[in-house]
Structure 1
Amino acid sequence: MISFAFTDEQEAYRAELARYARTRLLPAYRRRAESTEFSWEAHKELAALGVLGIGLPEEYGGAGADSHDPVTLGLVTETLAYGDVNVAAAPVQSGLVAAQLAEGGSREACERYIPELVAGDAVSGIAVTEPGSGSDAAGMRTVAVPVAGGWSLTGEKIAITHAMCASTMLVYARHPGSTRSRGISCFLLPMDATGVTRGHMPGMGCLPLGWGSIAMDGVFVPEENLVGEEGRGFASAMHHFEFSRSALGLLCLGAARASLDEAARYAQQREAFGQKIAEFQGVSFPLAEHATYLEAARWLCYRALWARQVGQPHTDLAAMSKWWAPQVALDAIQAAMKIHGNLGYSCEFPIQQRFRDVMAYLVADGTSEIQKRIIARAVLAKTVN
């Protein structure tokens, strides 16, 4: 019998985080979203709630490696995004960076860097995209030249979350002479290393996430900062993206749920032609339609995370979650804006801000076109005799 129920522990945690999202995050969402400053106060509060330690070893301050649970991380992300879609990106980033470091980092690197990430004292980033290789991540040109005691990194990375506030960065670079996915390794780069420069790339949304670029000119990285197996970093990155793609889908859906709830409340208050506008099918039917789409996309994301948790193949499910859920969320937010009329477009209300923040995820972590290529490959493979 298939069960769609969360555990009692997950439900209790969700309820705690839902209260926090509504009472602490939501009231100040617009104020935080309008600033390019990272929300350290909220980030530290997430640490106190245990969000940043899920699935990480206890010896480094985490909840325990045995508690590694993609479904719980997805539930946390969705719940927090109801209050602030930008603050809610933290568990996704932790799943990408801290988990990868815990799995493949040296003892020295783990002891030095994971505790501060779990405590919320620092944030890290992941640097894959380059000016000439966005969707084609295997076409990266940043090189890691072996030198005495480590490697020398040279190249440029762009579109990096936390570029402006991270103290460390997971940088993917290829060994000289290698091509495509072969020869790519992952390195933990301290951002204060000699030869590193940052550049800010603010967009139309997600301002507190500090998107930007980094340039490396012969930056030395010691041997103990290699993360994972040398020359096999690309496969590791893709494996972790299969978590983040589903989690980011839930991130967008959590934000959309908040907008749809706001639209439903407004529709029951606003009157036109002598009655509440919720009584008009032109208002109530879009609410019904988008509630259905959100629910369907939500369970697709959780199906992908469940498959990851039990060790089943989920590459195509993660890709489905990544291209469809953000689009469903964006459509729902747009419908909520229209129900509010001119107020939905006003900067005095949070709906327009969510629209701009969620739109970023149509591109981040792989465009919808790339996700559809992944899905189509899986579909075609199943039909081969």
Structure 2
Amino acid sequence: MSKMYFTEEHELFRKSLQDFLKKEVVPHIEKWEETGTIDRFIWKKFGDMGYFGIAYPEEFGGLDLDLFYTVILLEELQKINSGGFAAAIWAHAYLAMTHINKEGDQRIKEEYLSPSITGDKIGCLCVTEPFGGSDVAGMRTTAVKDGDHYVINGSKTFITNGVYSDYLVVAAKTSPELGNKGISIFVIDRDTPGVSSVKLDKLGWRASDTGEIAFDGVRIPKENLMGEENKGFSYIMQHFSLERLIMGINAHARSEYAVEYTIQYMSEREAFGKTLDKFQALRHSIAEMASEIEMSKEFNYSVARRLDKGEYVVKEATMSKLLSTKIADEVAYKCLQMLGGYGYMEDYPLARLMRDSRLGPIGGGTSEILKEIIAKIIIDKKEYKPAT
């Protein structure tokens, strides 16, 4: 492991995390994949171990550690081969909780961030809509002020933790006439009257509860507005860098897992009197994949270090997600092929990995949208700036 990015303390953390996942998570993965429901006890165990508090202030029970502890958490979650479980964990810890931490006031942090860190509350981030997709500015959900309350109407879809979470971080238009300059961010309790959800049936990420959520006349106190009214779009854009880098790191980690598993399989499987790892065509394919993964990983580490220093890395994080997820899909496809018929069997890990990997170029901004963002930066010289 690169000493440029990881200290001895990082590696001790990685080993401890690996032991925890092997003991507490892996034995339950098959059940959670089948049922689409992650047992509640595991959230509390993650909280007790401090894993939800890695990036958050000590004032609220966090550990306030550098971003490479998060990198380790993401990498090791990918290597237990359940994209759905991994997504449920990081969507809570780095999508919902990021907004609570960055835009929430003292009361909101005490009521939502602290119990999120301990694993007593689970959050989800609600931005994508049935008619909007990657078009965040085109959202239709509204929040209309009514005295000391806001009344929220609309719907969200493809929301990770959208069914079983305890609270929702919701983007809604407070001034629809202003377009993307009229979006605000709110926190809403799951049991608020008018909130309902339906679980979606997915190709992959089977362990996670991806939901479609409806808001029908949902009344919330005006104090549940996070940050400034009509500043929500800039908050969302600012945090997209972290989300996209997370998905890039996820991609290089599952690619690494796929190749490691395939090499092990090839060393044991014989054909025509020799093991598969002795066939030049297969060896060279492995060499090519390993090279692409290494380049992807090194780039992602570099971006993570810059983000950790406070740099605004919207271009680099977008590139990370675009290329890392593309490489991951190609690696999953090629590795499955190397297992032949066994690769197609659910008893072997690559069938699930390929299904889970396919969401990489879709979630958190499709590859097509990312290409246009990069094109605007490179060709049109557009500058994306932090929220002020």
Find the partner of 1:75 among 72, 82, 86.
72
Specify the alignment match of 1:260 in structure 2.
259
**Segment of structure 1 superposing worse, 201-210 or 99-108:** 99-108
Residues 91 and 124 in structure 2, CA contact (< 8 A), matched pair in contact too: no
* Superposition deviation, residue 92 in structure 1: 4.7
- Which runs of 5 or more structure 2 residues have no equivalent in the other structure? 384-388
CA distance in 2 between partners of 1:91 and 1:161 (Å): 10
Specify the alignment match of 1:49 in structure 2.
49
**Segment of structure 1 superposing worse, 185-194 or 329-338:** 329-338
1:308 partner letter: L
Residues 92 and 161 in structure 2, CA contact (< 8 A), matched pair in contact too: no
* Superposition deviation, residue 21 in structure 1: 3.9
* Superposition deviation, residue 86 in structure 1: 2.8
Superposed CA deviations along residues 24-73 of structure 1, whole A, max 9, x for unmatched, are 54565444323211243443332233210012222322114xx3x33321
1:43 partner letter: W
Residues 84 and 204 in structure 2, CA contact (< 8 A), matched pair in contact too: no
CA distance in 1 between partners of 2:22 and 2:297 (Å): 20
CA distance in 2 between partners of 1:206 and 1:44 (Å): 21
Does residue 87 (structure 1) correspond to residue 85 (structure 2)? The answer is: yes
CA distance in 1 between partners of 2:299 and 2:34 (Å): 32
**Segment of structure 1 superposing worse, 157-166 or 254-263:** 254-263
Specify the alignment match of 2:322 in structure 1.
323
* Superposition deviation, residue 116 in structure 1: 2.0
Length-normalised TM-score, structure 1: 0.93
Specify the alignment match of 2:35 in structure 1.
35
Does residue 6 (structure 1) correspond to residue 6 (structure 2)? The answer is: yes
* Superposition deviation, residue 102 in structure 1: 1.9
Instruction: Give runs of aligned pairs for residues 1-385 of structure 1, distance below 5 A.
Output: 4-22=4-22, 24-26=24-26, 28-64=28-64, 67=65, 69-83=66-80, 84-89=82-87, 90-381=89-380
2:74 partner letter: T
Residues 60 and 109 in structure 2, CA contact (< 8 A), matched pair in contact too: yes
Identity %: 29
Aligned residues: 380
Specify the alignment match of 2:386 in structure 1.
none
CA distance in 1 between partners of 2:382 and 2:191 (Å): 51
Partner of 2:325, secondary structure, is helix
Distance 1:383 1:175, change over 3 A: closer
Distance 1:30 1:355, change over 3 A: farther
Distance 1:330 1:58, change over 3 A: same
* Superposition deviation, residue 339 in structure 1: 1.3
Length-normalised TM-score, structure 2: 0.92
Distance 1:375 1:176, change over 3 A: closer
* Superposition deviation, residue 316 in structure 1: 0.9
CA distance in 2 between partners of 1:77 and 1:191 (Å): 27
* Superposition deviation, residue 281 in structure 1: 1.3
2:134 partner letter: S
